[in-house]
């Protein structure tokens, strides 16, 4: 068994703010992990919908196979869409970005509108478009991403999760924090002190600390809010005045040569 730092977990979230998928192996592409945040829900005006407004999205499960994105909600129904879906282009908004995206069609719109009780449409990022991370935090690297909040990859250590859980007084599952890479056998908050993560042939530059919001207070199984934890505890020791929020985990961008490589749970890694 590798006693040194290793890649403990890999996660993708095909639809922004819906349930993610735990993987043993994942391909790295120019925009992060393949299919991560490739799809998104938008309201009637084209603005993105997240668990902040719709906690019921915690109930939306996703799965991937070689050809389809599968979406299911227990007791409600399921749909599937081709991974390479191309439909009518509509302009959508995610934070300060406006980009054309492929509308997934009437069936998907009816499925999500019925579940959420409000008009909603599912869209897929058009791969011909480019949406770049803020270069002020990427070291000048032009880092494309899809519908993530702003950066291609989110990195967190298991020791940080365990430390925060101990401070709060109950286990906080990793799903609350929605990372892509979970680092094992490193000290708590080791990701804060490092500049890069190297996993095999994949190298990432660690950049902007991830500021946290009310989504972390939702039970990822039920969508129910359990008070103001862990935000209250994070504020005691993780408040960043410059970012005007509490931070937990680090956003990252890919360094040259990483796209096209594969990551595997259990791989040794180096923090530098």
Residue pLDDT, tens place only, 85-102: 999 999 999 999 999 999
Residue pLDDT, tens place only, 104-159: 999 999 999 999 999 999 999 999 999 999 999 999 999 999 999 999 999 999 99
Residues 215 and 230: their CA atoms lie apart, in Å, by 10
Residues 34 and 103: their CA atoms lie apart, in Å, by 20
Banded pLDDT at 1 (limits 50, 70, 90)? very low
Q: How far lies 6's CA from each of 28, 71, 255, in Å?
A: 17, 31, 19
What sign does the CA torsion over 33, 39, 42, 45 have?
positive
For the residues 231-255, what does the mean pLDDT come to?
98
pLDDT of residue 3: 83
Structure pTM?
Answer: 0.96
pLDDT of residue 2: 55
Residue pLDDT, tens place only, 34-62: 999 999 999 999 999 999 999 999 999 99
Mean pLDDT for the chain overall: 97
Q: Are 254 and 28 a contacting pair, CB within 8 Å?
A: yes
* Rounded percentage of the chain residues whose pLDDT exceeds 90: 97
Q: Are 157 and 186 a contacting pair, CB within 8 Å?
A: yes
Is pLDDT of 243 > 50?
Answer: yes
């Amino acid at each position: 068994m590798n006693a040194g730092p290793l890649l403990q977990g890999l996660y993708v979230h095909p639809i922004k703010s819906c349930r993610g998928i735990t993987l043993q192996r994942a391909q790295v592409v120019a925009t992060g992990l393949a299919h991560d945040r490739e799809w998104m829900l938008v309201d009637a005006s084209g603005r993105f919908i997240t668990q902040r407004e719709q906690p019921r999205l915690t109930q939306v499960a996703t799965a991937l196979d070689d050809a389809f994105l599968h979406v299911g909600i227990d007791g409600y129904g399921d749909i599937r869409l081709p991974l390479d879906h191309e439909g009518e282009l509509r302009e959508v908004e995610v934070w300060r970005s406006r980009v054309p995206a492929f509308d997934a069609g009437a069936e998907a719109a009816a499925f999500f509108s019925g579940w959420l009780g409000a008009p909603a449409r599912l869209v897929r990022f058009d791969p011909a478009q480019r949406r770049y991370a803020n270069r002020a935090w990427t070291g000048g690297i032009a880092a494309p991403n899809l519908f993530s909040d702003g950066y291609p990859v989110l990195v967190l250590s298991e020791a940080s999760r365990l430390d925060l859980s101990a401070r709060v007084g109950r286990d906080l599952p990793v799903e609350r924090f929605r990372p892509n890479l979970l680092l094992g056998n490193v000290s708590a908050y080791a990701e804060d002190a490092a500049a890069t993560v190297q996993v095999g042939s994949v190298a990432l530059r660690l950049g902007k600390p991830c500021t946290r919001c009310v989504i972390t207070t939702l039970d990822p199984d039920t969508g129910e809010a359990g008070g103001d934890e862990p935000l209250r505890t994070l504020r005691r020791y993780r408040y960043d005045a410059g970012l005007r929020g509490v931070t937990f985990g680090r956003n990252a961008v890919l360094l040259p040569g990483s796209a096209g490589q594969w990551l595997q749970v259990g791989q040794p890694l180096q923090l530098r």
